[in-house]
Each structure stands twice: as structure tokens, then as C-alpha cells.
Amino acid sequence: MADVVLRGFGWRHAGRRAWAVRDVDLRIAHGERVLLLGPSGAGKSTLLAALAGLLPEDSGESAGEVEIDGLDPRKARERVGILFQDPQTQLVMARSGDDVAFGLENRGVPAEDIWPRVSDALDRVGFPYPLTRPTAALSGGEAQRLALAGVLALRPGLLLLDEPTANLDPAGAELIRDAISRGFQGTLILVEHRVAEALPLVDRVVVLEPGGGIRADGPPAAVFAEHGDRLAAEGVWVPGRPVSPRKAPPTDSPGLGSGTAVSAPTDVLVRAHGAAVHHRLTKVDLEARAGEVLAVTGPNGAGKSTLALLLGGLLRPDSGTITAFGDTRPPHKWRAAELTRRIGSVFQDPEHQFVTSRVVDELTLAGPAPSLVDDLLDRLRLTKLANANPHTLSGGEARRLSVATALASAPRLLVLDEPTFGQDRRTWIELVDLLAGLRDDGHGVIAVTHDEDFVTALADREQKLARW
């Protein structure tokens, strides 16, 4: 177990005016389990990176002190394990078993102990493949499980988890929480936006104040009883406060399916018949329509992200056909300008679609009206970050920017992969409202998601994929 102390800690990224986190005084004793809360951008991920010793001196300005068992975090790295928001940033080997073994080998664990520890860690996170499974073939959720196995295999005294279940299907998320509950006995600091599911893992809640310092600190029940209403209003996912649905308004259009509220079949935007990519997605039949939000759900590894790339014209199917807007050519054969005008895509990893060095430049690439750019910046709480480099944003901020860039081009069909990942309650509601407005204006929306609240609030129709 590890003891954590922060005295007046602060960090400002290079090139930023505002501090990512500031004036944090905090002590976490050996064996405590802490849920770290705060609105998106409050500095939660930055604080975890500081505790892991991963903030280089030349990448920003620091203030105060941070200690792990009395040591500078950069000298205590062997006591700390961290799982990042994006698991791809910590997968380094071509085969899954080798990736988990990599950290053990670097720590000098005896050779005879390595593979039993690898197998034990993979079993605990429910990794469904053999040790030889290529890491490049894993879905986002499967990569998350593998990355967590690599951390647990190290048996750290301090475990730092940044949204460990965000990319997982509900069953996989429950398995991960069970693995943490039963399989880790040290000090835990957890960042998780969906609070209700995380509460059984922790005995203390710490809420960061976005402007600096700590808003609340104490047992979960006491913190939410005293601060729950204000926290919910400021964006924290406080248990017991559901959001209102944003379903499509009723319509009398002919040809509607029973109980649905979508446009007539003549307004079909895209059809996929028997579309498949070898070893990624089995045959699927799908139809998306104007004025409708279609949620694509299913377990990790079912091929949801692959389907999103196919529908967005960014991947060629190995079999089957994909047609859109009555065009006889499949989307992957359209010219880039034609594709972006008709279909907008939001990737699972938002950084993969950033091409400029400023947030505002990402939004103006498609040539939208300045008023639309200002509105998106304001509604998605990116105004203060307009001149920031997109690659310095937090996970939640990067996700909002990726959605905003797609909305700025106003495509007739928008395909989003996990659009609500990493969002606090306030920005989650704003994202849902923006997508509902797009839908109500007659655009089509396809959302790949594990977010059951998103499906309940917004989806007019759900299509579940089965694992192949």
C-alpha cells in the first residue's frame, strides 16, 4: 500500500494561461479507496498523471509538492500503477500476453513467476482471448481490459484508474469492478464519471473545484447529502438524479414502424446489406433514416467501431453492399469533399481526427458560419480553450471537440463512436441536446455506444450486434 500527500499542488500545461489543477491539499492514507470527482476539465487526469510521475518538467509549470510514501513520484514509479483514459497509449507489444509480461520483465520479476502472473491478471479482467491474440486486433473495450491486466500484474501499492470502464459493455464493466474489488488490496484513486456504479469500490469521495482547490471531501453519503444538488448542477453525476429523455417528436408520416418516430422509408439515408470485414464484423443488415437517432449496441468485440467506419465511408467492406443517399457508388468510393458533406464521422479515439494546432481551427475547417462556431464553443464549454492545442485537452474535452467538428459541417448523416465518453453530467446533457436538435432538423444520427443512459434518453431505435 502507498501513502499519498499533495501540498498546494498545481500544474499548468505549456502554452496555457489557465492552470489545469491548482491549490490541491490532500492526503490519502495507506489502503484508502478514493473516488475523484469534478466536472470535465477540472484536472482529474492531470492529478493522476502527477501521482504517476508522468508530468515532465519541460512540459509545463508546477506548484507545490507531491509525495508517494515520502518520495517524489518520479522516484516511486515502481509503487504505482496507472490506467489511462486511452488504453492504446500503454499497449506496447504485438501479442496480448507479451504486453502484460512486458512490465513484469522490466521490473525484474523472476522468469518462472512472470507467466503465472500474466495468466492470473488476464483471468481477473475477463480477457477472452489466448495469450497470442494480436493487440492490433482488439476492440477499444478489449484493449482496456488488457491494459488493466498489465497494471494489475505489477501488484502496485497505489492504483490509479482513469475511467477504467468507459469503453466497456455493461457485463465487461461489472467484471472489471469485481476484479478491482476482489483482486486489489492497496491504495486506490479512481476517476469515474458514472458514480453510482463506482461507489461500492470506494470509501471516500474527493471533489475537485475547477478553479482550484477541493470542493468536498468525505464519505460518499455525507458528500452527496451536503453538496449533491450543487454538484449535479455543476456537472457531477450525482446518484439518484436521472436526466429527461430527448425522443423525437411524434409524426404522422406514412410508413412508420409501430411505436417509432422516424421519417418515411423514402428518407432512408444509408443501407448496409450483408456488410462485413473479415475477422472484425460478421454480416450485418442495417438501415438508417432521416430524422432518427439509431443506437448501435453490443458487447466488446462485436465490430461496432468497424461498422461505424464502414457506414462513414472510411473502410471498404469485404462482402455485402453499402449504399447511401441513392448513390449507386458505395461511400468509400466518394471524393473526400462529397463524403464530408454527406456523412460526418466521430472516431472512438478523438485525437485521430485532429489536424490543426488550435481548437478553433478544427471547428473552422469546414467553413461554417462564425456564429455556429461560437455557439458550439459556448455550448460545449470549449470557449476558454479556443486557442489551445487539441492534443493537450482532457479526454472529455477532446471528445466534445471531435463531436463539435462534425456538427460544424452539418452533414446529412452523422456517425459517432462513443459520443458521450468522459463527459460530466452538464456536458453530457448538452451533447444529447445538440444531437437531438440535429435529428429534429431532419438529419440522421447513428451512435455506437455502451452508454445505456444515452440510449434511453435519445435513441429512437436500437440495433444490437452479436459477438462473432
Query: What is the DSSP-derived secondary structure letter of residue 71?
Result: B
Residue 24 vs residue 38, higher pLDDT: 24
Kindly indicate the confidence band of residue 342, based on its pLDDT and cuts at 50, 70 and 90: very high
Question: What is the signed CA dihedral for 14, 431, 455, 256, rounded to 10 degrees?
Answer: -150
Is the model's pLDDT at 251 over the cut of 80? no
Distance CA 189, CA 82 (A): 10
User: What is the per-residue pLDDT for 258?
Assistant: 27
Phi-psi region of 235 (alpha: psi -120 to 50; beta: other; left: phi over 0): left
Kindly indicate the confidence band of residue 265, based on its pLDDT and cuts at 50, 70 and 90: very low
User: What is the per-residue pLDDT for 390?
Assistant: 93
Amino acid 290 reads A
User: What is the per-residue pLDDT for 1?
Assistant: 66
Most confident of 93-102, 131-140, 240-249: 93-102
Check: CB of residue 447 under 8 Å from CB of residue 454: yes
Count Cα neighbours of 359 within 13 Å in the Cβ-side half-sphere: 27
Domains of the chain (ranges; CATH) run 4-233 (3.40.50.300), 265-464 (3.40.50.300)
Distance CA 293, CA 420 (A): 14
Is the model's pLDDT at 255 over the cut of 60? no
Check: CB of residue 173 under 8 Å from CB of residue 197: yes
- Which tens digit of pLDDT belongs to each residue from 379-434? 999 999 999 999 888 778 899 999 999 999 889 999 999 999 878 888 899 999 99
Contacts of 21 (CB under 8 A, 6+ apart): 9, 10, 11, 42, 43, 46, 47, 50, 208, 212
3-state secondary structure at position 58: helix
Determine how many CB atoms are found less than 10 A away from the CB of residue 285.
11
Average pLDDT, the chain: 89
User: What is the per-residue pLDDT for 256?
Assistant: 26
Is the model's pLDDT at 69 over the cut of 90? yes
Contacts of 282 (CB under 8 A, 6+ apart): 276, 303, 466, 468
Is the model's pLDDT at 261 over the cut of 70? no
Torsion angles phi and psi, residue 275, rounded to 5: -70, 140
3-state secondary structure at position 255: coil
Q: Considering only CA atoms, which of 158, 201, 205, 189 is closest in space to residue 3?
A: 158
Kindly indicate the confidence band of residue 17, based on its pLDDT and cuts at 50, 70 and 90: confident
Residue 224 vs residue 140, higher pLDDT: 224
Check: CB of residue 389 under 8 Å from CB of residue 362: no
User: What is the per-residue pLDDT for 424?
Assistant: 84
User: What is the per-residue pLDDT for 204?
Assistant: 97
Q: How far are the Cα atoms of 229, 291, 416 from residue 153, in angstroms, in the given order?
A: 40, 48, 34
User: What is the per-residue pLDDT for 18?
Assistant: 87
Query: What is the DSSP-derived secondary structure letter of residue 19?
Result: -
Q: Considering only CA atoms, which of 122, 126, 123, 105 is closest in space to residue 114?
A: 105
Label residue 320 exposed, middle or buried (CB < 10 Å: 0-12, 13-18, 19+). Answer: middle
What DSSP assignment string belongs to 213-229?
SEEEEE-HHHHHHHHHH
User: What is the per-residue pLDDT for 30?
Assistant: 93
Query: What is the DSSP-derived secondary structure letter of residue 342?
Result: H
Residue 260 vs residue 467, higher pLDDT: 467
Helix spans in 9-70 (H): 44-51
Is the model's pLDDT at 108 over the cut of 90? yes
Question: Can you give the pTM of this predicted structure?
Answer: 0.82
- Residue matched to cell numbers 408520416: 253
- Which tens digit of pLDDT belongs to each residue from 223-243? 999 999 988 888 888 998 888
Q: Considering only CA atoms, which of 197, 193, 124, 139 is closest in space to residue 162?
A: 193
Q: How far, in whole angstroms, is CA 391 from its chain's centroid?
A: 15
User: What is the per-residue pLDDT for 52?
Assistant: 95
User: What is the per-residue pLDDT for 404?
Assistant: 94
Worst-scoring range by mean pLDDT, 57-61, 134-138, 170-174, 310-314?
Answer: 170-174
User: What is the per-residue pLDDT for 468?
Assistant: 62
What is the sign of the dihedral through the CA atoms of 101, 103, 109 and 110?
positive
Helix spans in 67-192 (H): 96-106, 111-124, 140-153, 170-183
User: What is the per-residue pLDDT for 254?
Assistant: 34
Check: CB of residue 167 under 8 Å from CB of residue 450: yes
Kindly indicate the confidence band of residue 252, based on its pLDDT and cuts at 50, 70 and 90: very low
Joined together, the cell numbers standing for residue 254 give: 406514412
